[in-house]
Amino acid sequence: MTDAPRVLLDTTVSTTDEMGALGARLAAVLRAGDLVVLTGPLGAGKTTLTRGLGAALGARGQVSSPTFVLARTHPTSAGPDLVHVDAYRLSDPVELDDLDLDWDAAIVVVEWGRGFVDGISDAVLDVEIVRATGADASTDGLDPDDVPDEPRRVVVTATGARWADTAL
């Protein structure tokens, strides 16, 4: 078995509803101890994807961007908790460790997590979301959750033996 990164999915998502549905699709393969890293510019759909994932898991509470609180734990109706983390305001990976997250018992989703979660797990799902226009929502003066529908390319790459037999 190789631990080399493997692309599980490379697709275009055209609407926020489709992004939420992709989150639900990911939820179907996730289990306790799984780490998902979301990468993309402001307004790409990271929180929308996490919202769909949370809905499919039966997460309690509103799944919204944890930018200012850094992390939110959402108990689920059955199964592991969903921990939603935003590393955008962190300056060092040590700060992520200071959050004292339960990496082994929860499904942990980290927005802006590249470079911050290295070494936490040997098995990572990396989800990169690129807005087709290349625009950054911050230049539009819009809240990232209010960005209008537009196509996004989503690439899900798996690293680690945990994902060797997984298909999306």
Q: What is the DSSP letter of 148?
A: P
State residue 139's pLDDT score: 38
Q: What is the DSSP letter of 137?
A: H
User: Residue 12, exposed/middle/buried by CB under 10 A (0-12, 13-18, 19+)?
Assistant: exposed
Closest CA to 77 of 100, 59, 96, 95: 59
Helix (H, G, I), strand (E, B) or coil at 42: coil
| Contact status, residue 124 vs residue 158, Cβ threshold 8 Å | yes
Q: What percent of the chain has pLDDT over 90?
A: 51
Confidence of residue 119 (pLDDT cuts 50, 70, 90): confident
What does the pLDDT look like over 5-30, one tens digit per residue? Answer: 999 999 999 999 999 999 999 999 99
Q: Could you tell me the CA-to-CA distances from 148 to 12, 43, 158, 162 in Å, in that order?
A: 16, 9, 29, 35
Count of alpha carbons within 13 Å of 75, Cβ hemisphere only?
1
What does the pLDDT look like over 94-113, one tens digit per residue? Answer: 777 778 788 889 999 999 88
Model confidence, pTM: 0.86
Tokens of residue 152, six digits: 């996004």
What does the pLDDT look like over 62-75, one tens digit per residue? Answer: 887 766 667 888 88
| Contact status, residue 23 vs residue 50, Cβ threshold 8 Å | yes
The per-residue pLDDT of the chain, averaged, comes to 85
Average pLDDT over residues 35-50: 93
Helix (H) or strand (E) holding 157: strand 152-159
* Bridge partners, residue 71, by sequence: 85
Q: Phi and psi at residue 77, in whole multiples of 5°? A: -70, -30
Closest CA to 130 of 150, 153, 156: 153
Domains of the chain: 6-163 (3.40.50.300)
